[in-house]
Amino acid sequence: MINNPAAAMRMLITYAICIPLAVLVGYLLTNPMDYGTLGFLGLVIALIISPIFIKWHYPIMVFALSSPIMVFFLKGNPSFAQVMIFLSLGIAVIERTMSGDRRFISVPSITWPLMFTLGVVLFTAEMTGGIGFHTLGGDSGVVGGGKKYLLIFTGIAVFYALTSRAIVPRHRWFYVGLFFLPAMMSVISDLFSYLPAPLTYINLLIPPSGYAMDSNVLGDVETKVKRFSGLAGLAYTILIFMVVRYGLKNIISGGHWWRTALLILLTFITLVGGFRSSLINLLLTFVLLFFLEGLHRTRLMPIVVMGLISLAVLLVPFASHLPLPMQRSLAFLPLPNLDAQVVAEADNSLEWRYRMWSFLWPKVPEYLLLGKGLGLTKEDFNVMGGSAMANRDEQFDPSSGGLAVSADYHNGPLSTLIPFGIWGAIAILWLMFAGLPLLYRNYKYGDPALATVNRYLLVGWVVHFLNFFFIFGAFQNDVLAFATAYGFSVALNGGIRGPADQPVLTPHSQPLSTPKLA
């Protein structure tokens, strides 16, 4: 080594970096749960594995989109998806700068509404005090609400991160699995109460679900039904992936009885989450797929109708014997003998929404030209904290309650018009309807091997559109959801598909004979 000065220099530089770093890490580990320690260790680990992210950033980003993982060592506990979207987009931009072969898929029909949305959000934020991040501190003015703004920016970025490349045909189903299946990890959020002490640290990555506790508070309604949202999410994810992979026809009539049995079982398990909206969305998805696949014109139509009638007849006497969270999921149906407490809880959760909406709608006109934005002041945080004065005021005016102040209106139009006015309404409607032709063309003209995926993405648009207006909408969440669906469809199909070019047919004609000269 003495005879190789270059090798000796590399060794000395390595030791000069690694030895002090190891000493510093050892010192910090004396207080492992300190925020500064977690942040520094996270940075060190990120630097060590950075070559993996540089090479595989795109599949990691697709995996993160539906995963419930949180990056707990960063301020504000951002989701893994948010971190990977901006990281992947940044790497893609650098790759595009360094190589002319790395081109983004151009989709102007989506770019324009996204840029308009970004302009509306930035202008409104500037005019209403800025973007506040409570976790980063703030002494005056807007000190919160930044997470909702960040969701909007993430929704805009995710489209470009996904369309930074086209997914090659041989990897398509691999990416479909990455896109849908990581959501199954949400079941871990229900296990917090049952895990032994060393394993509870996994909930730093996947936070525990408040619904699985003995009680929780939703708005001004204290709920007593123990709901397993993570387990319901696991069943829902497998159901959707089955539909995407096989199609509804091949599940219920493909000669594989276990698929039909699994479909029924998983649908039953989704009820343990206690969410009426989940069951409504699932049924709506099945109905739309049933008609899009043309099954209503087959012998399956009377069979399915008779099966549903039989199920409805069985539910009448047996619904009251189901577990309480399942009864809550069915509470929107006119079933007798359901648990009185469950029905009252479900009714109350609707009542406080209706009361809040009835007080908020008259206030919409004053925000049409300039919305109030998503920023929160210190006074807003005091209201959200549930002070005695705030709780008293909320009894008289639900629009002054914690959820209303934080812009959690549980209503798509209100979450758009009050924060961003008529300009926000134009932005979200433009984004919605700009993507519909994209999804339809990829469904109609896309690769037949992707028919089940493209069909589900189109049905998902319809379900999400109805959710936004009639069930549970939020501007920031829906911008993210629609942009993600559009971006994945474009990447999966290599752009926007169209009808295949037809060969030009020319009539066969005989050449004219040349007259003979005498």
Mean pLDDT of residues grouped by 10 in the chain (518 residues)? 59 64 61 61 70 87 94 83 94 85 89 96 89 58 74 95 94 95 92 78 82 48 71 94 92 84 92 89 93 88 88 84 88 84 84 85 90 74 50 50 67 92 96 96 93 96 94 91 96 89 48 50
| pLDDT at residue 396, as a whole number | 45
Cα separation, 398 vs 328, whole angstroms? 24
Task: Determine how many CB atoms are found less than 10 A away from the CB of residue 384.
Answer: 18
Alpha-carbon distance of 79 to 209, in angstroms, equals 15
DSSP tag of 469: I
The H or E element containing residue 189 is: none
Torsion-angle region of residue 130: left (phi > 0), alpha (psi -120 to 50) or beta?
A: left
* DSSP classification of residue 210: G
- What pLDDT is stored for residue 181 in this prediction? 95
Segment (H or E) for 37: helix 35-48
pTM of the model: 0.85
> Which pair of tokens denotes residue 318?
């047996």
State the burial class of residue 493 (Cβ atoms within 10 Å of its Cβ: 0-12, 13-18, 19+): buried
Long-range contacts of 282-286 (CB under 8 A, 24+ apart): 282/236, 282/239, 284/462, 284/463, 284/466, 285/240, 285/243, 285/456, 285/459, 285/460, 285/463, 286/248
Helix residue spans in 293-411 (DSSP H): 300-318, 324-329, 340-360, 378-384, 388-396, 402-405
* Residue 271: half-sphere exposure toward Cβ, Cα within 13 Å: 17
- State the DSSP string of 45-89: HHHHTHHHHHHHHHHHHHHHHT---B-TTSTT--BHHHHHHHHHH
Residue type at 369? L
- H-helix or E-strand spanning residue 131: none
**N-terminal to C-terminal alpha carbon distance within the chain:** 101
Report how far residue 414's alpha carbon sits from residue 417's, in angstroms, rounded to the nearest whole number.
5
With H, G, I as helix, E, B as strand and everything else as coil, classify residue 408: coil
Name the phi and psi angles at 70, rounded to 5: -115, 145
In 3-state terms the chain splits into helix, strand, coil percentages (rounded to 5) of 70, 0, 30
Q: Which residues 6+ apart lie within 8 Å of 323 measured at CB?
A: 272
Residue 142 to residue 375: CA distance in whole angstroms? 6
Nearest in space to 129 (alpha carbons), one of 114, 112, 143: 143
Please tell me the predicted confidence (pLDDT) of residue 236. Answer: 94
Question: So what's the pLDDT on residue 220?
Answer: 41
